[in-house]
Amino acid sequence: MRWKFLFIGLLWGTAVSVGNYYYLKLVVKKNENRPPRDKILAVVNCYIMRYFINIAALLSIYWIFRDIWTIAGTGIGLTVMKNVTAVLELRRGRDEHRKAAAKRKSYKRILDYPDDYDRYW
């Protein structure tokens, strides 16, 4: 096993994967104000394009280096961003849950009646 070629493939795959991620974010942002059917169509087209980009990345790295370890590294690199995105979404969801819980507690404190509540009625 040639670690150098595996590492080169890993870097290339990760770079392509990050580019794909930002491409998807751009497509979602550009189609934010469109009807739902058009949004879905744009995202589906983006995913189809991403598959072709991934295949082109695998073929180009093999065409340049002609080594199987670069393809293996590229494949690993292409899947890395999926895992990073999953962890980021998990963290974001957990943070939103904590903020919502804190907000509920603050509303509860606001709605608590004062000690001299009976005096006003």
Report the half-sphere exposure of 68 (CA within 13 A, side-chain side).
1
Under 8 Å between Cβ of 13 and 80: yes
d(C-alpha 71, C-alpha 13), whole Å? 9
Model confidence pLDDT, tens digit, residues 56-80: 999 999 999 988 999 999 999 999 8
Percent of the chain with pLDDT over 70: 83
Whether residue 118 is predicted with pLDDT greater than 70 in this model: the reply is: no
In this prediction, residue 93 has a pLDDT band, given cuts at 50, 70 and 90, of confident
For the chain, helix, strand, coil in percent to 5 are: 90, 0, 10
Place of tokens 């991934």: 54
- What confidence score (pLDDT) does residue 99 get? 74
Across 3-7, 22-26, 50-54, 93-97, least confident range? 93-97
